[in-house]
Amino acid sequence: MPHLDTAWQQWLTENINRGCTVESLVSAMTAAGFDATTASTLIQQYSSKNGGAQSQIATSEAYAYDAMPIEYANCIDADDRNIQVLMRCERPQVVIFGDVLSAEECDEIIERSRAKLKRSTTINPQTGQEFVIDRRTSEGAFFNRCEDDFITRIDRRVARLMNWPLECGEGLQILRYGVGGEYRPHFDYFPPVDTGSAAHIANGGQRVSTLIMYLNDVAAGGETIFPDASISVVPKKGAAVYFRYCNTQGQIDPRTLHGGNPVLEGEKWIMTKWMRQRKYG
Ligand code: PD2
Ligand code: ZN
């Protein structure tokens, strides 16, 4: 059996306990360079180590795909801008948009964020506290919801586009990745099986959907990937990818496993909006 470094051991334990499907774990590991046989053997090994979690691994069939809130149109009127729909996937629910932001807005967000950048953190599934880990190599900055006129304009546009109340949105999160920077496959929702999730869910409920906006063109690499749907989104300045993982019954969709491929050349800047079930903050 190949040696598994501590970051991967931690990743496997976390995701098995979260109830990820074997299929999604294999996809994530093969996308990161493991061969499929080694990946499934390791998953089996770690499943039995974690109290026979394999029998508890959820099947994605349990998730009921109800209607997405996104308007079914080729072009969406989003408050102060008309936004093109470029691609739609139903299972999982993924939509790609062109020109959510103008080039000038992208540049302004990057300039405002530079001074505030800090190494990105991840949530510890047991405690719910944030910590720095190797599999999320980026720097981040944050804007409070509607903190000034410029941010308010973007928050409003994004809420209209996602067709979800502005008050349910978390503040805009900016990430910058340099060469080699990546975000290994994960879920954006708070896994209900993690003890640390309760504190997050208490404010605003579960996360329901994500909009990742690209603030620059990336010379090579840096795609946003959905391993279980074989979707790979190439970053394009001003464009965005939306995905929805919590339906009206509160079920969560494990097919929305996603990650950010390593940046091979240049840098990658994104801005993310997460929407909650209820009013947040
Ligand atoms: O940078 C990305 O492409 C990426 C990938 C996965 C961002 C996020 N997740 C995120 O912001 O949650
Ligand atoms: Zn994510």
Mutate to test the pocket of ligand 1, among 224, 237, 274 (most ligand atoms within 8 A of CB): 224
Q: Where are the alpha helices (DSSP H) in the chain?
A: 6-17, 22-31, 36-49, 103-114, 149-162, 197-201
Contact call for residues 56 and 239 (beta carbons, < 8 A):
no
**Residues paired with 130 in a beta bridge:** 123
> For every one of its 281 residues, what pLDDT tens digit does the chain have, with 9 covering 90 and above?
567 887 788 788 877 776 676 656 766 676 576 765 567 667 767 776 665 444 334 444 489 999 999 999 999 999 999 999 999 999 999 999 999 999 999 999 999 999 899 877 766 666 666 665 555 678 999 999 999 999 999 999 999 999 999 999 999 999 999 999 999 999 999 998 888 899 999 999 999 999 999 999 999 999 999 999 999 999 999 999 999 999 999 999 999 999 999 999 999 999 999 999 999 99
At 129, the amino acid letter reads Q
- Using DSSP, state whether 99 is helix, strand or coil: coil
Q: Is the CB of 70 inside a 6 Å radius of any atom of ligand 1?
A: no
DSSP conformation letters of 232-255 = EEPP-TT-EEEEE-B-TT--B-GG
Instruction: Choose among 226, 221, 261, 218: nearest CA to 244.
Output: 226
258 ligand 1 Cβ < 6 A: yes
Q: Which atom of ligand 1 is found nearest the CA of 272? A: 11
Instruction: Give 237 Cα–ligand 1 centroid separation in angstroms.
Output: 15
Residue 189 CA to ligand 2 center (angstroms) comes to 9
Ligand 2 mean position, distance from CA 199 (Å): 19
**CB 212 less than 6 A from any atom of ligand 1:** yes
The finding on whether 185 has its CB within 6 A of some atom of ligand 1 is: no
Is the CB of 277 inside a 6 Å radius of any atom of ligand 1? no
259 lines ligand 1 (CB under 6 A): yes
Cβ 259 vs Cβ 185: under 8 Å: yes
Ligand 1 neighbour 183 (Cβ under 6 A):
yes
95 C-alpha vs ligand 1 centroid, how far in Å? 15
Answer yes or no: is the C-beta of 270 below 6 A from any ligand 1 atom.
Answer: yes
